[in-house]
Amino acid sequence: MYTLFRKEINGFLDSLIGYVVLVVFLLITGLFLWVFPVEFNILDFGYANLDGLFILAPFVFLFLIPAITMRSFADEKKSGTIELLMTQPLTDLQVILAKYFAGLFLVLIAILPTLVYYFTVYRLGMPPGNLDSGSIWGSYIGLFFLGASFTAIGIFSSSVTDNQIVSFIVAVFISFFLYLGFDFVYNFIVSGKTGLLIQSFGLSAHFSSMSRGVIDTRDLIYFISVTALFILLTKFSLESRKW
Alpha-carbon gap, residue 98 to 148, rounded angstroms: 14
pLDDT confidence band for 48 (50 / 70 / 90)? low
Provide mean pLDDT across the span 44-67: 86
Alpha-carbon gap, residue 74 to 164, rounded angstroms: 6
pLDDT of residue 241: 63
229 pLDDT exceeds 90? yes
Task: Count the residues in the chain.
Answer: 243
The model's pTM: 0.92
pLDDT of residue 133: 82
Alpha-carbon gap, residue 184 to 160, rounded angstroms: 27
- Judge contact between 48 and 125, C-beta under 8 A: yes
pLDDT of residue 71: 87
243 pLDDT exceeds 60? no
Number of H helices, E strands in the chain: 14, 0
pLDDT of residue 239: 82
pLDDT of residue 191: 67
